A and B are shown apart, each in its own frame.
Chain A
Amino acid sequence: MTACAQAKAKTDDQRYSRIHILPKSNGEDVELALCRQCADPICVMNCPSGALSKNGDTGVIDWAESKCVNCLLCTAGCAYAGIVYEAAIGHVAKCDLCDGDPACVKVCPKEALEYRTAARIFNTYADMEDMFCRGLSACHGCNSELLIRHTMRMVGPDAVVAAPPGCIPGMGTVGYNGQTGAKVPIFHSLLTNTATMLAGVKVQYNRVGRDVTAIALAGDGGTADAGFQSVSGAAERNDPILFICVDNEGYMNTGMQSSGVTPYGSWTSTTPVGGQMQGKRTEAKNLPIIMTMHNCSYVATASTAFLEDYYAKLEKAIEVAKTGMAYLHVHAPCPTGWRFPSGMTTEVCRMQVRTNFIALWEYDPTNGLRFTHPVDRPEPVADYLKLIGKYRHLSEEQVTHIQHTVDEKVAYLRQLTQIAAARRPTPAH
């Protein structure tokens, strides 16, 4: 707040700050009063003078002092106390993100504040062609459709897609003649041969002199279980393909059976909850880590709640896939199979990351493993589990167990990052 007051008014008087950290009544946690730079800004709509406007390039709600008449109607439109009147200042004031270099973020010692620009992805990609036709029939609230549309927009039209059995073909992506499903060549491989078939197709494209991105959009069953031998082989050979595993932690389109990456404790139709069983008894295998052990060119995990992180990784993966194998493991919480409200998908994705249930990292053989979104003060994993119906039966011991495995997994990853950091050559001065 002091940094903001300094940046905006050259004073330490916190009344001049445009970000207000509010101590909660319990004295520990904090709450925030800050402009959210809304996409549907009521403050702008309520402004009778045209002083407020949404800047299409920066996303910031701009305030023009010369036009403002201080009628305060903007404050009536804001539920976040993001634009407020302060007598000391004499007019309404709001956060302007310091022209893209926020002073508050720079001084935050706990990295509680970060400057995220995911919304700008829209500016870059909105005008590009969607590589899928309208009318994919994913379940309500599924993020896989969002994911594959985003992905193929960036990959572009020079692509060939492999889609083994799973939710992605199930929603109608393997279409006909660019009129339904994908507008790029797409084929429905077997669960077992996706990676090898795709690698072979890529070889043929190379032979006829066409530069295409060969991309697999597979589920976790088609990657971790039945699909694994071909994925493993392609990774070991470092075939030039981009393999994306869309992980919904089970066989969700065939009746919610358990897969090799279904987490411990999950209810599925093959790991039921009853007298003998309390959900899955064994741990999920850590597939993305296994993929790093193949020394293929690029491996990363991603979440659709952190799209700018995903886009950065996808960009690298597309480049890598020209010469070697890139593997992206993206998490797709399933409202239907996991049993949570369809409007909560992004919140579930966010909580996966905020609790460290999944960690966001990337790996390449030269630089090793690196966290791309480290969460140093994770929220309790129980807060994530309670969002989801498939964990509703968990006993306290089971929750404790899951917390323990999450902590261990992160500790393991941290060791890998330290090994990588030690191995990395120090940059020349």
Chain B
Amino acid sequence: MHSKYLIVGSSHAALEAATAIRLVDAEGTLTLLTRDAHLPYSPTILPYVVSGRSQPDNVVLRNQAYFIDNAIAFVPGATVVAIDPAQSSLRLASGETWQYDRLLIATGASPMLPPVRGLTDVPFHVLRSMDDAIILRQAMGQARSAIVLGAGLIGMHAAENMAKAKIAVTLVELQPHALAGYFQPKASAIIERTFARNGIRMAMGQTLRSVERQGGGCLATLADGQTITADLLLVCTGVKPNIGFLDGSGIEVDAGILVDDLMRTNLPNIWAAGDVAQARGFWGGKVVNGILPNAVEQGRIAGAGMADDAGVTPFAGAVPLNTYSFFGQQAISVGRGSTGSGFDIEDSGDEADGVYRHIVLKDGRLVGIATINDFIDAGIMWQLILRGTDLSPVKAAFIANPQLTGRRLMSQIWR
């Protein structure tokens, strides 16, 4: 089989690349290979499938009609096992081979399992694919107690869902605070308190020493010796890029696939984008920034480059960014915290009321902003960071009201 443009993956990066290609080249053969059996969906939607708020068939990002209208071949159930750049070909688990002119690797990431003794001997769940979500939802129907390992976005979200389903949940996190990657301890404390108030046991700064099978569930022993029994164990301790099939291909990898600012790998005619790629970090280095808006941006750039779009713009650099809703409340984080001296930090809000705002500036420019129950326009904050907009003339106003000041500024400078 041959496809001028061959894309491995079917989530945000892959889909935006396909869109970008079709903007320039309406006719060149374009194929999406995915190991998943489902129509394209977002990993981000899975907690909502688990909670029942979204139905699996109602979260499809592109339907069959879209693929027909845009002359895109969508091939589900196709697991790539090896790439041979010398032959411009790749091989599937089925033995089938595909030739390409231009290849995009957008294979995303898979759950990373922590080194917990006995973990592989007990039934446990992860949450990264639609099938994971459907199975977890079924399991929750029978469970009365659960352990969630890892207080990142997926773990927090899952714990909330379980608590709402009247399951007794213990959330175990190695870091001293929940969502440590996005929020300062004060902000995390507000979120943790909300969880505790909703009956979730928050075991922060804890690890699982071991797990063993007990009945249909498990018995877990924490590092401090406490034991917990649970019908259900969910492991959400982060993800790692899916790059195993690249062994021996000559494609350079580190934590993920190393790409330049146009999402090109070290080999000609091969691009990578999304959670699998390791690209320029806004503050230097090369980072895997596994967030949805990042995948969208990188996918667009890769697709434009693959189709020789003269208008392709280089990647500006990855900025951490997240919006998070919990128990009807909102937490938003854009950028990063202070990393040493020379930062201007403004904290405000009332922790007791559950309202909090944390602004980090350096040389009058925004580095990061995180809020809880205090809506800010994440897109505007992101632009202010990327553009390095000098906030010195409006600093007081920005700190007092980042939403209004940000909107005013962007309204003037968006052109």
Contacts and interface: CB of A to CB of B under 8 A. Distances in A.
Contact of A70 (B325, B373, B407): B325
B54 interface: yes
B355 to A, nearest CB: 11
B323 A81 contact: no
B46 to A, nearest CB: 9
B60 A33 contact: no
A423 interface: no
A207 interface: no
B63 to A, nearest CB: 9
B292 interface: yes
A72 B330 contact: yes
A72 B59 contact: no
A77 B330 CA distance: 17
B45 interface: yes
Given A45-B12, A48-B42, A80 B58 contact: no
Interface stretch (B126-134, B195-203, B214-222, B378-386): B378-386
Contacts, number: 109
Contacts of A49: 42, 45, 48, 54, 59
B296 A45 contact: yes
Interface residues of B, number: 43
B293 A46 contact: yes
B377 A81 contact: yes
A354 B398 CA distance: 31
A31 B44 contact: no
Interface string B395-415: 001000000101110111011
Given A32-B411, A46-B293, A76-B321, A71 B377 contact: no
A79 B42 contact: no
B292 A46 contact: yes
A371 interface: no
Contacts of A42: 293, 296, 379
Contacts of A87: 373, 375
Contact of A25 (B292, B375, B394, B414): B394
B325 A76 contact: no
B318 to A, nearest CB: 13
Contacts of B45: 48-49, 69
Given A24-B408, A45-B296, A50-B60, A76 B323 contact: yes
B61 interface: yes
A48 B411 contact: no
B380 A79 contact: yes
A50 B323 contact: no
Interface in A382-407: none
B408 A31 contact: yes
Contact of A73 (B16, B44, B404): B44
Instruction: Please classify the interface of chain B as helix (H, G, I), strand (E, B), loop, or mixed, using the class held by over half of its residues.
Output: helix
B296 A79 contact: no
Contacts of A180: none
Interface string B36-47: 000001111100
B180 to A, nearest CB: 20
A185 to B, nearest CB: 29
Interface in A237-285: none
Interface in B47-73: 48, 53-54, 58-61
Contacts of A77: 293, 296, 379
Contacts of B370: none
Contacts of A76: 293, 321, 323, 334, 378-379, 382
Contacts of A32: 411
A79 B375 contact: no
A347 B332 CA distance: 35
Given A25-B408, A32-B411, A48-B42, A73 B397 contact: no
A395 to B, nearest CB: 29
A78 B379 contact: yes
B296 A33 contact: no
B58 A72 contact: no
Contacts of B377: 75, 78, 81, 84
A90 to B, nearest CB: 8
A20 B378 CA distance: 17
A75 B378 contact: yes
Contacts of B380: 78-81
A81 B410 contact: yes
A205 interface: no
Contact of B323 (A20, A31, A72, A79): A72
A22 interface: yes
A130 to B, nearest CB: 14
Contacts of B411: 22, 31-33, 80
Interface string A45-70: 11011100000000000000011011
Most chain B CB atoms below 10 A, which of A25, A33, A46, A70: A46
Contacts of A69: 45, 48, 53-54
Contacts of B330: 72, 85
Most chain A CB atoms below 10 A, which of B16, B41, B321, B404: B404
Contacts of B394: 25
A79 B414 contact: yes
A85 B323 CA distance: 11
Contacts of B406: 81
Given A50-B61, A69-B53, A33 B293 contact: no
Contacts of A50: 58-61
A73 B54 contact: no
Contacts of A315: none
Interface in A31-49: 31-33, 42, 45-46, 48-49
Interface in B281-340: 292-293, 296, 300, 321, 323, 325, 330, 332, 334
B168 to A, nearest CB: 25
A13 interface: no
A67 B49 CA distance: 11
Contacts of B373: 87
A80 B414 contact: yes
Contact of A31 (B43, B61, B296, B412): B412
A71 B323 CA distance: 6
Contact of B332 (A33, A46, A72, A81): A72
5 contacts: A25-B397, A32-B411, A45-B16, A67-B58, A73-B44
Given A32-B411, A76-B321, 8 more contacts: A31-B411, A45-B296, A48-B45, A50-B60, A50-B61, A80-B410, A80-B411, A87-B373
